Structure 1
Amino acid sequence: MTEQENINLAAEIIQQGKHAIVLSGAGISTPSGIPDFRSEDDGLWHHHDPWEVASLISFRHSPEGFYNWFQPMAERITQAEPNAAHITLAKLESSGSIKAIITQNIDGLHQKAGSKRVHEVHGTVSTLTCVSCYVTYNVNEFLESYVRDGEIPHCRDCGHVLKPDAILLGEQLPVKTFQKAEAHARKADVILVVGSSLEVMPVAGLPMRSLENGASLIIINNAATYLDERADAVLRTDVAEVLPAILESVANV
């Protein structure tokens, strides 16, 4: 099928769905200037061993190493604005066409675009938690001094280092959030994968839960995924361009 035929088919599937959901990955935020993890040229893992800078073990051993590595990323997240893909999904949610957004991203751009029913299965950088007394802080209390000067945030109660509430390698996913995501995946009759390579388990297995219950699958991603052959429509193109086109087509169905 041509790209336009796939766009029209995706729109028709979404329009007919009773419980359509979205699974988004890093690829939805790259048009906003936030790098993904696995791209050969500018992916975050291209120049660093993730287990040395972004694992729970390495953070406990050297939080300074993590914060030094993450500082440029934090600056990009701070400056980033939702792109047309985030905004389109917020509109589809507002119209009732999408019931939930499950995201692997930690940047908060879905919420910034106006989405309300967002499940952050890999956590968030909007809050920080003390590694000792577990007091939680809003990141805005520390963000400016960290981005500008590299100042590592410490607990104001006990003085220990604060850890972002993003999930590091080797760390358990937020249980309640993932349970909600699984429930949506099992209930879904349509699942739209946007900007995810579907490589990181267990989140990458969520579309299978939907397929097992007879759901339709739409994949929008630059690279191939392990579920392309199972998908009803596959679009390997810029998410910020194709999602508005799908929204326009939905309105015309």
Structure 2
Amino acid sequence: MAAVDDLRRMIADATRIVGFTGAGISTESGIPDFRSPGGIWTRYRPIEFGDFLASEEARRESWRRKFATDAVMRNATPNAGHRALARLVEQGRMTAIVTQNIDGLHQASGVADDKVIELHGNATYAACLDCGERYELEWVRALFDQDETLPECRQCGGIVKTATISFGQSMPEIEMERAREETMACDLFVVLGSSLVVYPAAAFPMMAKRNGARLVILNRDPTDQDDAADLVIHDEIGPTMSRAVGVN
């Protein structure tokens, strides 16, 4: 496939690559895209962050939904796409993976935490909204399974929530700044499995392009930024990246 050969050459020519991943890379691990038709966000009204803070019932409903869908994410494993990016990080060619995903599969593939920039947080653990203390989901579930007891921080008594960014919640400043710095420093920016419709995260590809980096978009469906890209591939991520990087 000529496009894969082009991608292989662009990777070989680059000295500082940033990967930008969306739901499409994780659907190949069996995690559904919640925004797609039939996804959870088309069946249930999202719980706004303000409602979560203000209402105990909203917090209970949030935890009900979390535990009703958690098995899918908990049982998912990294696929060939994740492993290909992990290889590029291991080689020192990919300096960061900026991700819109909340499943922790990049870390599970062997990428160090400090190389993964999670713009929308991480759903594999919880944290106190006041002091930031981390809590494992098993502890929260043990409490909730008794009589839907809501978790409170054992350090400060604050509200405990999955460590994700909810609708209406501010984007994480540190992660956004790190993503901007990596984007401005790269010479190749590779989008994998993002529809590029969720802003402000979707602004990073064009930021890289305007700064002189080459832009690759690998996604099953067309995006609004395809016309600006140096290379566009509409195909599955795992097989494509495996061939381009040379991993199984």
1:172 match: 170
Distance 1:223 1:147, change over 3 A: farther
Task: From 133, 142, 153, give the equivalent of 2:139.
Answer: 142
Distance 1:16 1:224, change over 3 A: same
1:15 match: 12
Query: Using the alignment, how far apart are the partners of 2:144 and 2:218 within structure 1?
Result: 33
Q: How does 1:8-47 map to 2 (within 5 A)?
A: 8-41=5-38, 43-47=39-43
Instruction: Identify which range, 135-144 or 8-17, moves more after superposition.
Output: 135-144
TM superposition shift of 1:147: 9.1
Task: From 58, 65, 68, give the equivalent of 1:69.
Answer: 65
Question: Is the CA contact (8 Å cut-off) linking 2:16 and 2:187 kept in structure 1?
Answer: yes
Task: From 50, 56, 74, give the equivalent of 1:57.
Answer: 50
Give SS of 1:45's match. Answer: helix
Query: Using the alignment, how far apart are the partners of 1:14 and 1:45 within structure 2?
Result: 36
Question: Is the CA contact (8 Å cut-off) linking 2:133 and 2:155 kept in structure 1?
Answer: no
Deviations 1:7-44 (A, max 9, x none): 11111111101111100011111111211122113x23
Query: Using the alignment, how far apart are the partners of 1:87 and 1:144 within structure 2?
Result: 31
- Where in structure 2 are there 5+ consecutive unaligned residues? none
Query: Using the alignment, how far apart are the partners of 1:63 and 1:126 within structure 2?
Result: 17
Question: Is the CA contact (8 Å cut-off) linking 1:220 and 1:235 kept in structure 2?
Answer: yes
Question: Is the CA contact (8 Å cut-off) linking 1:191 and 1:207 kept in structure 2?
Answer: yes
TM superposition shift of 1:161: 3.8
1:241 match: 239
1:93 match: 89
TM superposition shift of 1:86: 0.6
Q: How does 1:177-188 map to 2 (within 5 A)?
A: 177-188=175-186
TM superposition shift of 1:221: 1.0
Task: Give the aligned length.
Answer: 241
Question: Is the CA contact (8 Å cut-off) linking 2:131 and 2:158 kept in structure 1?
Answer: no
TM superposition shift of 1:130: 2.7
TM superposition shift of 1:164: 1.5
Give SS of 2:18's match. Answer: strand
Distance 1:136 1:208, change over 3 A: same
Question: Is the CA contact (8 Å cut-off) linking 2:98 and 2:118 kept in structure 1?
Answer: yes
Distance 1:91 1:146, change over 3 A: farther
1:111 match: 107
Question: Is the CA contact (8 Å cut-off) linking 2:126 and 2:137 kept in structure 1?
Answer: no
Distance 1:161 1:232, change over 3 A: same
Question: Is the CA contact (8 Å cut-off) linking 1:125 and 1:139 kept in structure 2?
Answer: no
What TM-score do you get using the length of structure 2 for normalisation? 0.89
Question: Is the CA contact (8 Å cut-off) linking 2:14 and 2:188 kept in structure 1?
Answer: yes
Query: Using the alignment, how far apart are the partners of 2:245 and 2:143 within structure 1?
Result: 39
Q: Residue type matched to 2:212 in 1?
A: G
TM superposition shift of 1:83: 0.9
TM superposition shift of 1:238: 1.4
Give SS of 1:29's match. Answer: helix
Task: From 218, 221, 228, give the equivalent of 1:220.
Answer: 218
What TM-score do you get using the length of structure 1 for normalisation? 0.87
TM superposition shift of 1:160: 5.0
- Where in structure 1 are there 5+ consecutive unaligned residues? none
Instruction: Identify which range, 210-219 or 158-167, moves more after superposition.
Output: 158-167
Percent identity over the alignment is 32
Q: Residue type matched to 1:88 in 2?
A: A
TM superposition shift of 1:93: 1.1
Give SS of 1:142's match. Answer: helix
Question: Is the CA contact (8 Å cut-off) linking 1:59 and 1:65 kept in structure 2?
Answer: no
